Amino acid sequence: MQIVTWNTQWCCGLDGRVDVARIVQGALALGDVDVLCLQEIAVNYPSLAGAPGDQLAEVRALLPAGWQVFFGAAVDGWSAAGRQRFGNLVATRLPVLAVQHHPLPYPPDAGVRSMPRMCSVVTVRDAALGPVRVMTTHLEYFSKRQRMAQALALRALHLQYGAQAACPPPPCSDGSPFQSPPHTPHALLCGDFNLRASDPEYAALAAPLSPAEAEGWADAGTPALYDAWQLLHPGQPQPPTFCLFDDRYAPEPFACDFVWASDSLRGQVRAMQVDGQTRASDHQPVWLQLG
C-alpha cells in the first residue's frame, strides 16, 4: 500500500500559477499510489492567488477511472462570491469501507489569525493488510494554543478508534445505521501539522499511553503514534517539507508534514521519501509504502 500526503497551497506553485493537474500528476508520479491525501484544496476562492475555482471537481476529473474522492471542508461558508469551501481531500483506488470527518478544537485566541481545522478519515481495504484507517489533517499555523488543542484531539481520536477496534459493538447486519462498521487497529495519520519535531505538540502526539488510555486494548507505555520516518531512520531528522525554496515563513527549511503510524503498523512501514525537487506548492509531497 502506497500513500502520498501533500499540502497543495490550493494547487498554487511557487511560480504563482494555480494548476490542479500539475499537483495530481506530480503526486501520482511518486509511485504506484493507492491513497492520495491533499490539504488546502479550495472551492470558489477568486480572491486567492491564482483565483482557484472548483478544485474538488477538477481533482475528480483528473484522476484515473475507478478512483473515489472524499472532501472534508474545514471552512464552509458564504461570501459575496457565493459558497466557499476549503479543506482536506482523500482520494483512493482501494475499496472504501467508511468515511468520517471530524472538526478539530477551535479555542479562542484573541488577536491571532486562524481558521477552523478538521481531520478527514477514510477507511480502505488493502489486499494484504485488510482495513486501514487513513486520517489526514492540517493543523493551525498561527495559533499555538489552537494547534496544541488540535494535536491532543487527534491523539484522543486515534485512541478512541483503537479502543473501538478492541471492544467493538455487537455485530449487526440489519441494514440500519446500527449495522457493524469496520473497526481496525491499523491507522495512518498524515498531513501538514504546522509544527517541528522539537515542538511540544509533536511530543503530545507521540507520548506513551497512560494506564487509563491503554485500559482494555493496549499496553501502557506504548507510544500513541509512531513517526514513520523515525521508524525507518531512528535519530535522523526528516528531510524538510516546507520553506525549501521560499523563505517567506521561515529563514531555514524544516519538516512539518509527517506520517504517523499506529502500533499495529509500525512493522509494516517499508519506505518513505520526501520529494525535494517539485515547486508545484510551497510544501513538498511525502510518499510512504506499507507492507
**pLDDT confidence tier of residue 242, bands split at 50, 70 and 90:** very high
**Which of 93, 91, 197, 75 has the alpha carbon at shortest distance from 136?**
91
User: All 3 cell numbers of residue 271?
Assistant: 519506505
The residue whose grid cell reads 499496553 is 219
Q: What is the pLDDT at residue 254?
A: 97
Interval 101-129 mean pLDDT: 98
Taking the C-alpha atoms of residue 48 and residue 81, their distance in angstroms, rounded to an integer, is 12
Q: How far is CA 287 from the centre of its chain?
A: 12
* Structure confidence at residue 218 (pLDDT): 87
Give the pLDDT confidence score for residue 153 in this predicted structure.
98
Dump pLDDT digits (tens) for 48-59.
Answer: 999 999 999 999
Burial 24-33 (b: 16+ CB within 10 A, else e): bebbbebeeb
Does the structure show a pLDDT above 90 at 104?
yes
pLDDT digits (tens, 9 = 90+) for 221-230: 999 999 999 9
Average pLDDT, the chain: 96
Q: Answer whether residue 66 shows pLDDT above 90.
A: yes
CA count, 13 A, side-chain hemisphere, 32: 5
- Residue 180 predicted with pLDDT over 90: no
Average pLDDT over residues 192-196: 98
Percent of the chain with pLDDT over 90: 92
Higher pLDDT, 17 or 179: 17
Least confident of 65-69, 231-235, 245-249: 245-249
| Residue-level pLDDT at 217 | 84
Q: Give the per-residue pLDDT at 235.
A: 97
Residue spans of the domains in the chain: they are: 2-290
Which band of pLDDT confidence, cut at 50, 70 and 90, is reported for residue 216? confident
Alpha carbon distance 270, 262 (integer Å)? 14
So what CATH class is 2-290?
Answer: alpha beta
